[in-house]
Amino acid sequence: MTDSSSDLPELWTHEPHIHLEFKPGDSVAAIDTNATPGFRGSKSDAPALQEERNARYAELQEMLYASSRAGDHRRILLVLQGMDTAGKGGIVKHVVGSANPQGIQYASFGKPTEEELAHDFLWRIEKKLPAAGHIGVFDRSHYEDVLIVRVHDLVPPDVWGGRYELINDFEKRLVDDGTTIVKVAMFVSLDEQKKRLSERLDRPDKYWKYNPADIDERLLWPKYQEAYQAMLERTSTDYAPWHVIPCDRKWYSRLAILELLIEALKGLDLAWPPADFDVEAEKVRLAQA
């Protein structure tokens, strides 16, 4: 073991999962999307802290990768769920992407293809699971199959209704097989979403992120709230709990998710793998070579 739990920055009152884990009785309708749970600092503290914590995360990520080269088969899966503009892309770019790309596996899940629809809903997910030593990030995930699918009645209720248990069984299998799953549900207010969508319409460099259908989904927010509530209640397990992230302040959501990743990595008690050769003998050989 190379690390203790003591490297949590003082700006956090407790490890963020304590504030952010979904608890029975929590209500999606009551989430304060503008809040900064557990964080004592302010926006002006964020850039320096983020840089420092990105470096810590990158170090641990490299240790995970190095351990896999020595036979450790553990891996991390970060699941990002959230409505359009919640900031999933920013998490991928500024948080997950601050580590060595060698050890990162990114997958996004949009509308399924014909081929994907011909298979079980977990088929396309299985194919994108992270390999040993990697951090996998799912930009949307199997949870779309109980979110957009439920909201739009894309399959009958008994089919989507059966998926909660199927997902729990699936994730249990992954955890038993050495995957630490970090699930984050990202929430923005409707006002903040409107601002961000309007920015996408005002800036040519953001048009690519805009989809006219985003407005249709936005209008369905009450139905999405119900679907998110059911998802959190039915798939938050002790082995793969959900975290609820207030996302109106991007700087906060990034710091919070970064800290959740660091916690997950620290939970693995990683260490640099010992040399599988005689270091001293190699030094002698090199000196003579």
Joined tokens for residue 135: 């951090």
Task: State the Cα–Cα distance between residues 281 and 188, nearest whole angstrom.
Answer: 58
| 84 forms part of the interface with Mg ion (CB under 5 A) | yes
Strand bridging mode 135-139 / 75-82: parallel
Per-residue x/- marks for ligand AMP, 3-42, CB under 6 A? ----------------------------------------
Determine contact, residues 183/241, Cβ cutoff 8 Å. Answer: yes
| 195 forms part of the interface with ligand AMP (CB under 6 A) | no
Nearer to ligand AMP, 71 or 110 (CB): 110
Residue 111: name its binding partner from ligand AMP, Mg ion, none (Cβ under 5 to 8 Å by kind).
ligand AMP
Joined tokens for residue 11: 């700006």
Nearer to ligand AMP, 17 or 94 (CB): 94
Residues 71-130, interacting with ligand AMP (CB under 6 A):
84, 109-112
Sheet order of strands, 242-246 included:
104-108, 135-139, 75-82, 179-187, 242-246
Binding residue for ligand AMP, selected from 72, 144, 171, 192, defined by CB under 6 A: 144
Handedness of CA 259, 91, 136, 48 (dihedral sign): negative
Determine contact, residues 133/69, Cβ cutoff 8 Å. Answer: yes
Residue 89: name its binding partner from ligand AMP, Mg ion, none (Cβ under 5 to 8 Å by kind).
none
Question: Where do the H-state alpha helices sit in 1-90?
Answer: 16-20, 46-69, 88-90
Binding residue for ligand AMP, selected from 91, 149, 184, 244, defined by CB under 6 A: 149
Give the contacts of 181 (CB within 8 A, at least 6 positions apart): 76, 77, 79, 171, 174, 175, 239, 240
Task: State the Cα–Cα distance between residues 118 and 121, nearest whole angstrom.
Answer: 9
Residue 97: name its binding partner from Mg ion, ligand AMP, none (Cβ under 5 to 8 Å by kind).
none
CB of 213 to Mg ion, least distance (A): 8
CB of 121 to ligand AMP, least distance (A): 7
Candidates 38-46, 58-66, 142-150, 184-192 — which segment interacts with ligand AMP by CB under 6 A? 142-150
The residue nearest ligand AMP at its CB is 144
105 — phi, psi (to 5°)? Answer: -125, 115
Q: Which residues bind Mg ion (CB under 5 A)?
A: 84
Q: Which residues bind ligand AMP (CB under 6 A)?
A: 84, 109-112, 140, 144-145, 148-149, 154, 211
